[in-house]
Amino acid sequence: MKIALIVNPLIPVPPEQYGGIERVVYVLIRELIKMGHDVRLYANPASQPGCKLIGYRESENYGLKDFVKINLLTSSLLFKNFDVVHTFGRMSNIASLMPFKQPKVVSYQLPPTILQVKKAVKIAAKNSLYFTACSNFIAGQINHIGHVTTIYNSVDMDDYHFNAEVDADAPLVFLGRIQQEKGTAIAIEIALKTNKKLIIAGNVPNEQIHQQYFNEQVKPFIEQDQIKYIGPVNNSQKNELLRNASALLMPVTWDEPFGIVMAEALACGTPVIGFNRGAVPEVVTNGSTGFVCSNINEMVEAVNNIHALSRSKCREAAEEKFSSIVMAKQYEQLYKKIESRAKNQESGKNNAY
């Protein structure tokens, strides 16, 4: 199949540090090529995806000029015989394709704007527009509007090295953006209440609200030996950090759409302890690959019971549900289904004459 993938051009594919969806798209491209498909990527010009790249940019503050410029670019896909056009970026960037029969897939990694989805379904050619969601939590928000399939994000299992056993004093880890909805301060509270070491890794966003959160609720504690902040980490550093951790903490205070760091931890054999928000209970099997908690007291208890969990089961779950091969096969199956439906629809139209 000839497949066009589109990603917002903010950072390259693959990313050096933060960039969950860019990393997912990178491993998807690699697996699709192994399957024999012809893949083109529309993304940041600095990307090195391992397939043909069509680089494009957008303004820091996305506006009408960006919309027009990008749609002029993507409208050319109508004349390049792609079997499917799949965007992981803004749906508005393929607005020009909506009225045409060109098969289109829009992947949601965040909660969708329902009004936008309804408008797209209304203007799209019949049976030409399909959606994927990174979790059932996200899919459930639009499955009454259009065709939606849940396909979990993935990690490259070769990038994350299984560790069957860690030291008794192995630290807890918090890995992600340092901001309130990610629960960094709660992770610190859990570490202090359980007398466990905690390593915090991730970037502090530039916005004042996040800088203030870091300065007031995180920074005062990292001056102690028990709590360490090591800043952003690359793939190799992330692997070492996760595989040597006793558990990954996910004390999120928002509805996490997927949380790829949880899959990365499981791939290392490291259990996940998180709040019951969004997709956390889809990624974590309570009592097997981690603990799904309702409050801080439950999370403290979960940390004290890490020893009851099997690190082998964590790795097995990651391989079965979140490997790049599994994800790519699911996308391939969807693409073939869409391609077949489009051909049958065209054949039926021709037979009508």
Among 15-19, 79-83, 126-130, 164-168, where is mean pLDDT lowest?
15-19
Same domain, 7 and 147: yes
Count CB atoms within 10 A of the CB of residue 178: 24
Same domain, 292 and 219: yes
Query: What value does the mean pLDDT take over residues 307-321?
Result: 96
Q: What is the pLDDT, as a whole number, of residue 348?
A: 58
Query: What value does the mean pLDDT take over residues 195-199?
Result: 96
Q: What is the pLDDT, as a whole number, of residue 235?
A: 85
Share of the chain above pLDDT 90, in %: 89
Does residue 246 surpass a pLDDT of 80?
Answer: yes
In which band, very low, low, confident or very high, does the pLDDT at 352 lie, cut at 50, 70 and 90?
very low
- How many domains in the chain? 2
Same domain, 98 and 225: no
Same domain, 34 and 62: yes
Cβ atoms of 273 and 302 closer than 8 Å: yes
Q: What is the pLDDT, as a whole number, of residue 47?
A: 95
Q: What is the pLDDT, as a whole number, of residue 320?
A: 97
Same domain, 225 and 270: yes
In which band, very low, low, confident or very high, does the pLDDT at 228 lie, cut at 50, 70 and 90?
very high
Same domain, 132 and 197: no
| Inter-CA distances, 342 with 80, 82, 83, 100, 333, Å | 16, 12, 9, 12, 14
Which residue range is the domain that position 174 belongs to?
A: 158-321
Does residue 209 surpass a pLDDT of 60?
Answer: yes
Distance CA 107, CA 322 (A): 17
Q: What is the pLDDT, as a whole number, of residue 178?
A: 96
Q: Tell me the per-residue pLDDT of 333-344, one tens digit each, with 9 for 90 and over.
A: 999 999 888 877
Same domain, 196 and 309: yes
| Inter-CA distances, 41 with 197, 302, 305, 324, Å | 42, 43, 45, 18
In which band, very low, low, confident or very high, does the pLDDT at 347 lie, cut at 50, 70 and 90?
low
Query: What value does the mean pLDDT take over residues 304-322?
Result: 96
Q: Tell me the per-residue pLDDT of 28-43, one tens digit each, with 9 for 90 and over.
A: 999 999 999 999 999 9
**Look-up: residue for tokens 């030291």?**
167
Q: What is the pLDDT, as a whole number, of residue 353?
A: 39
Same domain, 201 and 300: yes
Q: Tell me the per-residue pLDDT of 93-125, one tens digit each, with 9 for 90 and over.
A: 999 999 999 999 999 999 999 999 999 999 999
Q: Tell me the per-residue pLDDT of 146-162, one tens digit each, with 9 for 90 and over.
A: 999 999 999 999 999 99
Same domain, 217 and 300: yes
Does residue 131 surpass a pLDDT of 70?
Answer: yes
Same domain, 109 and 205: no
Using a cut of 0.75, tell me whether the model's pTM lies above it. yes
The token pair at 168 is 């008794």
Q: Tell me the per-residue pLDDT of 289-299, one tens digit each, with 9 for 90 and over.
A: 999 999 999 99
Same domain, 46 and 192: no
Task: Give me the chain's average pLDDT, please.
Answer: 93
Same domain, 138 and 215: no
Q: What is the pLDDT, as a whole number, of residue 343?
A: 78
Alpha helices in 51-96 (DSSP H): 64-75
| DSSP states of 180-240 | GGGTHHHHHHHHHHHT--EEEES---SSHHHHHHIIIIIHHHHTSTTEEEEE---HHHHHH
SS3 label, residue 170: coil
Q: What is the pLDDT, as a whole number, of residue 351?
A: 47
Q: What is the pLDDT, as a whole number, of residue 349?
A: 59
Among 324, 315, 327, 320, which residue's Cα sits nearest to residue 266? 315
CATH number at residue 148: 3.40.50.2000
| DSSP states of 287-336 | TTTEEEESSHHHHHHHHTTGGGS-HHHHHHHHHHHSBHHHHHHHHHHHHH
Query: What value does the mean pLDDT take over residues 8-26?
Result: 86
Cβ atoms of 279 and 135 closer than 8 Å: yes
